[in-house]
Amino acid sequence: MDSQPATLGTPPAAPRKAAVLHDANARWLVIGQLGSQICDRMALAGVLWFVTVSAGPTFVPWYIATSGLPHLALAWRAGRIINALGPLRVVVWADLLRGVLFLAAAALLQVLPHSADIAVLFALALLGNLGAALFNPAILSLPVRLARREFYQPNQLTALLSSCGATGTIVGPALAALIYQAGGLETVLAITGAAYLAAGLIEQRVRLPRAEEPSARAAQVQGSIGIGAVVRRHPLVGWLLGLLLLVNLGMGPIVLFLPLYAASEFSGGIAAQAWLQSSIGAGMILGGLATAVFGLPGSRRLRVSLPVIITTACYLGFALSLSLPLSCALLLAMGAALAASNAGLIGLFQTIPDEHEVPALMAMVNLFGVASLPLSMAVIGVVLHAAPVTTVATVCAASALLLALLSPAIPGLSAVAAARPPPDHDAA
């Protein structure tokens, strides 16, 4: 299905540039998510540092694994829960729940003995990610029901929200260093909890289309199906999920490659690492904003394959680069292309299935994103004992690029399906 839904027999209207920025619903979501995403990254950096210095670095993989368990447990149930409650309600209550949990954890760190600190943080990882396991697919499902498709597409709102996460990746760790030193982990967690509560309250200002009120969605909820049925009905979705998983497995280890390249290839220490990480984040912000404002032109094969090819080509260029400035430039371009490729893929996941099928599909997208990172990191951690980091990074990047170059041949990617009409919206 092309990304511009329209009534059958009517040429689709061209999206208006920057229309998403003028939508009140989009503005409320971005305002809420910008603060919560920055504080979420701040809390993660603070907790990982605390666990490292308090319990030792060997506990960090266990903490990350604990954080992923709720995503795995809810991956096959999240779609039904989101359809039953509605994606907006799930987004709001997930943020409120996490706000209460983070404030409670900050209070417990103050009153309990220090010997209980690690247990409190592991409990926070488990319970907080129960909310995240529902929040992530819900926030990706929400643009389908909020986008004013006569003006802009769901993937434009998705790109705008993704830029909030990229901003958090840059700003959050820097704030964590400042606030952690000034007030300790308790202050970091308390500020994060307050940001989640504020996000939940702000998101309540969002107004759903009239057709998406609970009573009008009852038939859709009854017809909720699992991911297996979605893939059988829409084979292209299965191919795109496979592409997403395999490319993620190849690209995930870049999180590990950046500090290793900074230390061994560029000899720049933490400053070089900061430049490399900031380059990716800045690129994702620019790419997300550009995609939100201008959309993704061309056929859906072009919108999916070209950004993925550019992303993986820049990744390979980084793996082969011996210059820090060149590597930063390549990572900046990679981040921008990655934001566009995410919008292109997720845009198809948002528009190919029926609306009540989208949450189940987004739950699998979330699971692939969460599961691929620790899996690929574990494999790369073993391989690095036998090969230099440059060789491992080059193999990962070349494999990802090969998959990207094969993506235009995905069956059904060039086909055009019948589009469904846009929903009726309340005034924003």
Cα separation of 233 and 163, whole Å? 32
Tokens 């260093």 found at: 177
- Give the chain's count of helices (H) and strands (E): 15, 0
Residue 286 CB neighbours (<10 A) = 17
**Residue 412 CA from chain centroid, whole number:** 25
Q: Which residues contact 259 (CB under 8 A, 6 or more apart)?
A: 273
Q: How many CA atoms lie within 13 A of 18 on its CB side?
A: 1
| Tokens, residue 79 | 């779609």
Q: Which residues contact 18 (CB under 8 A, 6 or more apart)?
A: 293
pLDDT for the residue numbered 216:
47
pLDDT for the residue numbered 122:
93
Percent of the chain that is helix, strand, coil (3-state, to 5): 80, 0, 20
Nearest to 295 by CA among 108, 409, 160: 160
- Write out pLDDT tens, residues 96-138: 999 999 999 999 999 999 889 999 999 999 999 999 999 999 9
Nearest to 279 by CA among 296, 294, 293, 266: 266
pLDDT for the residue numbered 351:
84
What is the 8-class DSSP label of residue 10?
Answer: S
Contact yes or no for 31/163 (Cβ under 8 A): no
Identity at 48, one-letter amino acid code? L
**pTM of structure:** 0.78
Contact yes or no for 303/3 (Cβ under 8 A): yes
Cα separation values, 152 from 15, 135, 156, 252, 347, Å: 5, 23, 7, 31, 12
The low-confidence residues of the chain, meaning pLDDT below 50, are: 1-14, 212-216, 218-219, 222-223, 417-428
Helix (H) or strand (E) holding 167: helix 154-203
Q: Exposed, middle or buried: residue 358 (CB in 10 Å: 0-12, 13-18, 19+)? A: buried
